[in-house]
Amino acid sequence: MQTIDDLDVAGKRVFVRADLNVPLSGTDITDDGRIRAVAPTIAKLVAAGAKVIVASHLGRPKGAPDPQFSLAPVAVRLGAILGQDVAFATDTVGDSAAAVVAGLADGQVALLENLRFNAGETSKDDAERGAFADQLAALADVYVGDGFGAVHRRHASVYDLPARLPHAVGLLIATEVGVLKRLTEQVDRPYVVVLGGSKVSDKLGVIDNLLGKADRILIGGGMAFTFLKAQGHDVGSSLLQQDQIPVVLEYLERAKQNGVEFVLPVDVAVSASFPDLKAKTPVADFEVVAADAMPAGKMGLDLGPATGKLFAEKLADASTVFWNGPMGVFEHPDFAEGTRAVAAALADGDAFSVVGGGDSAAAVRILGFDEKKFGHISTGGGASLEYLEGKTLPGLAALEN
């Protein structure tokens, strides 16, 4: 892969595909980790005298403009982080983009409006994606791929555009891939993996792969209830993927054969309804119950304190930890303890810890942990999981060619 240093960018229009898909509350950016993560690449191009055109998706708009997914607030924050104005184009490949790009002097930066306001970006049809990539290519002379969080997407700006321009890998992707290599090629043991988040189905591929690599797998978050159910426990009204139970049982069996230790919650915090994440009002019927005695009509929303302690113990002797997915509904203070317990165990421990996934990475920062206490906080959730699954990531393959 070529790096930025291999390219002559002075005076050139350089298209930087970033992942600026940050969590928003209205137009407030609640975690700017992804913006800060790509800033060094942009600053380096600025210093080299490039005209920098930054592009990203935000959320999942349906191929047409949708104001709630505008990148306008991100342009302002990116400017503040870079310490220079960032011009904002109100479209991606239209008149505004053309005018904004034409107006860039060497060392100036522009951000285009959400790539996914255009149906061609995510189209499954090669010709439709290609046509959109052609329009993007017309804006620039050089391509830098640095949107690590989106490299698992076969999208026009990720996959088709680099084939149309001289291209290089940005600083962020280079760092992310270096860390993931360390987890796959030369991992220090014990290697402990913590998985959470809502859906088991999102994690099946990675579990399948890790059953041959990890020493211990801790399961929390909404996905834990499918495991608990598979072990014959009632899970009340908790999230449950009934159709995944056979696969989960097969994994538990294979773990036994491979000597991989699976650790499931022993207690959970429950409520009859999903908490109000906006008002964050205390949950009146909050209760901690044993994982094998969950009451009907209540849903598990976090690990209980005994599980937090158990998980911390299971992390204490680790040399390497990969963590993806929150342990509970950490956005509500009553259900943040499980996520906090795992984050604290990693922050205080000596293991090389990799936190992957937009949600868990944001959780670490939102709960007030010092990022420097972790080995690496990845900007990619799905991307890091698919890398660990051993899949070919379209956005990385495109940069290699």
Q: Active-site positions?
A: 34, 199, 358, 382
**Of 219, 221, 240, 329, whose CA–CA distance to 283 is shortest?**
329
- Minimum distance, C-beta of residue 247 to ligand 3PG, in the bound complex (Å): 22
Q: For strand 51-55 and strand 261-263, is the pairing parallel, antiparallel, or unpaired?
A: unpaired
190 prior amide bond cis, ω within 30: yes
Instruction: Please say which residue, 339 or 384, places its beta carbon nearer to ligand 3PG.
Output: 384
> Does 17 participate in binding ligand 3PG (rule CB under 6 A)?
no
Minimum distance, C-beta of residue 152 to ligand 3PG, in the bound complex (Å): 8
With both helix axes pointing from N to C terminus, report the angle between 337-348 and 358-366 in degrees, rounded to the nearest 10: 80
| Smallest separation, CB 344 to ligand 3PG (Å) | 25
Q: Which helix (H) or strand (E) holds 73?
A: helix 72-82
150 near ligand 3PG, judged by CB under 6 A: yes
- If one counts every other C-beta atom within 10 angstroms of the C-beta of residue 177, the result is 20
Amino acid at 268: V
Stretch that binds ligand 3PG, among 69-77, 136-144, 149-157, 299-307 (CB under 6 A): 149-157
CB of 125 to ligand 3PG, least distance (A): 18
Nearer to ligand 3PG, 34 or 167 (CB): 34
For ligand 3PG, the binding residue among 145, 197, 356, 382 (CB under 6 A) is: 382
Interface with ligand 3PG (CB under 6 A), residue total 9
The reply on whether position 381 binds ligand 3PG by CB under 6 A is: yes
- Among all residues, whose Cβ is closest to ligand 3PG? 21
Scan residues 53-112 and list those touching ligand 3PG (CB under 6 A). 60
Q: Report the C-alpha gap between 181 and 185 in whole angstroms.
A: 6
> Which tokens hold the place of 112?
């285009």
Q: Kind of pairing, strands 376-377 and 320-324?
A: unpaired
> Could you tell me if 140 and 11 are in contact, meaning their C-beta atoms sit under 8 angstroms apart?
no
The reply on whether position 19 binds ligand 3PG by CB under 6 A is: yes
Give the one residue of 145, 149, 162, 265 binding ligand 3PG; rule: CB under 6 A: 149
Q: What is the CA radius of gyration of the chain?
A: 22
The answer to whether 161 and 17 are in contact (CB under 8 A) is yes
CB under 8 Å to 168, separation ≥6 — which residues? 1, 2, 3, 4, 6, 7, 142, 143, 144, 145, 399
CB of 340 to ligand 3PG, least distance (A): 22
Instruction: Locate the DSSP E strands across 171-264.
Output: 191-195, 216-219, 261-263
Of 12, 15, 17, 21, the residue at the interface with ligand 3PG (CB under 6 A) is 21
CB nearer to ligand 3PG: pick between 19 and 302: 19
Q: Is residue 120 a contact point for ligand 3PG (CB under 6 A)?
A: no
Place of tokens 């010709």: 127
User: Which range of residues in 2-10, 130-138, 146-154, 236-244 is near ligand 3PG by CB under 6 A?
Assistant: 146-154
Least distance to ligand 3PG, CB of residue 69, Å: 11
Residue 142, token pair as written in the block: 């050089």
Nearer to ligand 3PG, 60 or 181 (CB): 60
Residues at the interface with ligand 3PG (CB under 6 A): 19, 21, 60, 149-150, 153, 358, 381-382
